[in-house]
């Protein structure tokens, strides 16, 4: 294994063991996204119960003219955690004067594949992928001198997977990395009836449960752990006080698991907290961003389930 891969594995082991030694055991949700986890997440986005993706796409489609106007001409578009860049295509179709598009993603192979396909479909656009963890530092290549503004694109309500304090720091970093004049187009899932929220994370076909348990399969493979995923059950619920969906894996029995030689004990009913997905009101989100950005425009769907917001750097 290359040095870098070994170093990454060590950090993952440290982070996972650190989390599992806590009184409320936890595993960082970023570890969901191995190859199978990413595929399962794509499947989630197609589920009837998971309204987020299709609602965000419908907002983009309905308001594309206004969104394109807000972005304006000769922008540099930088997508944070670009994945398949599926939603971006809607923007690219409407932004013929875009100076360049920079998808930022940690998965190098996928990033290259997507960028290759995009350059076939948008032959006149300069596409410069950036392979990086967008939550840490990354460099944006110099743009030609004739660009007007940087626009960051962060769809999917992925910002909801940060705790509010972390989201605040993340926004601070984006603002610090951005030019003096820059904007952020961000997708934010909104507070709503608990039944709708809980159904979105407890689909009937059990895809979200598989996605949740897949994190254990990954630890078995990559960290020499011996979890039996069948001995855990998926639990997702809305914590109204904290304004977030919490996902947990609950131990069905008293059991012991080994990770890299270390024993971790579970009582019956004890859980590992695997993810938070914060839901905001439009006002709460405005409050969260206000140190770094001002909210210029907010687009909603007719049910007011989801929002796409255009923030301008202060
Ligand atoms: C990626 N992120 C916005 C998803 C969410 O809704 O928080 C991840 C997810 N977890 C369970 N289902 C989807």
Does the pLDDT at position 158 exceed 90?
yes
CA pair distance 13, 123, nearest whole angstrom: 42
Average confidence (pLDDT) over 37-57: 97
Pocket test for ligand 1, best of 27, 162, 201, 205 (most atoms within 8 A of CB): 201
The answer, yes or no, to whether any atom of ligand 1 lies below 6 A from the CB of 161, is yes
Average confidence (pLDDT) over 93-118: 93
- pTM for the structure as a whole: 0.96
pLDDT-derived band at 259 (thresholds 50, 70, 90) equals very high
The answer, yes or no, to whether any atom of ligand 1 lies below 6 A from the CB of 155, is no
- The per-residue pLDDT for 104 is 94
DSSP string, 136-200: S--PPPPPPTT--EEEEEE-TTGGGGS-HHHHHHHHHHHHHHS-SSEEEEEEEEB---HHHHHHH
pLDDT-derived band at 1 (thresholds 50, 70, 90) equals low
Query: What are the backbone angles phi and psi of residue 229, rounded to the nearest 5°?
Result: -55, -25
Query: What are the backbone angles phi and psi of residue 307, rounded to the nearest 5°?
Result: -135, 150
CA pair distance 290, 173, nearest whole angstrom: 14
- The per-residue pLDDT for 83 is 84
- The per-residue pLDDT for 2 is 67
| Candidate from 2-6, 45-49, 113-117, 264-268 with smallest mean pLDDT | 2-6
The answer, yes or no, to whether any atom of ligand 1 lies below 6 A from the CB of 156, is yes
Does the pLDDT at position 140 exceed 80?
yes
Diameter of the chain by CA atoms?
A: 64
* Close Cβ partners of 30 (under 8 Å, ≥ 6 residues apart): none
- The per-residue pLDDT for 287 is 98
Residues 235, 241, 242, 247, Cα dihedral to 10°: 0
State what percent of residues in the chain have pLDDT above 70. Answer: 99
* Close Cβ partners of 228 (under 8 Å, ≥ 6 residues apart): 255
Per-residue pLDDT of 180-222, as tens digits, reads 999 999 999 999 999 999 999 999 999 999 999 999 999 999 9
* Close Cβ partners of 116 (under 8 Å, ≥ 6 residues apart): none
Mean pLDDT of the chain: 95
Does the pLDDT at position 138 exceed 90?
no
Take atom 4 of ligand 1 and give the residue whose Cα is closest: 158
pLDDT-derived band at 136 (thresholds 50, 70, 90) equals confident
């Amino acid at each position: 294994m290359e040095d870098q891969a070994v170093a990454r594995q060590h950090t993952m082991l440290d982070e996972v063991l650190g989390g599992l030694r806590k009184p409320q055991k936890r595993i960082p949700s970023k570890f969901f996204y191995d190859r199978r986890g990413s595929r399962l997440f794509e499947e989630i986005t197609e589920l009837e119960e998971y309204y987020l993706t299709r609602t965000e796409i419908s907002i983009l489609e309905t308001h594309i003219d206004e969104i394109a106007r807000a972005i304006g001409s000769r922008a540099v578009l930088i997508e944070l955690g670009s994945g398949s860049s599926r939603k971006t295509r809607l923007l690219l179709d409407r932004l013929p004067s875009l100076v360049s598009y920079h998808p930022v993603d940690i998965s190098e192979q996928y990033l290259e594949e997507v960028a290759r396909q995009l350059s076939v479909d948008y032959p006149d656009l300069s596409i410069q992928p950036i392979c990086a963890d967008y939550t840490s530092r990354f460099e944006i290549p110099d743009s030609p001198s004739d660009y007007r503004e940087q626009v960051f694109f962060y769809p999917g309500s992925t910002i909801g997977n940060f705790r509010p304090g972390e989201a605040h720091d993340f926004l601070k970093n984006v603002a610090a990395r951005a030019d003096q004049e820059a904007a952020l187009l961000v997708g934010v899932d909104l507070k709503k009836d608990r039944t709708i929220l809980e159904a979105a994370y407890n689909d009937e076909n059990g895809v979200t449960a598989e996605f949740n348990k897949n994190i254990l399969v990954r630890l078995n493979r990559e960290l020499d752990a011996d979890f039996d995923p069948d001995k855990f059950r998926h639990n997702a619920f809305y914590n109204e006080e904290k304004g977030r969906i919490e996902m947990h894996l609950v131990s069905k029995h008293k059991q012991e698991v080994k990770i890299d030689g270390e024993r971790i004990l579970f009582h019956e009913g004890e859980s590992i907290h695997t993810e938070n997905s914060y839901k905001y009101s439009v006002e709460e989100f405005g409050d969260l961003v206000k140190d770094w950005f001002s909210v210029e425009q907010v687009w909603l769907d007719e049910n007011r389930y989801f929002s796409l917001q255009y923030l301008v750097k202060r």
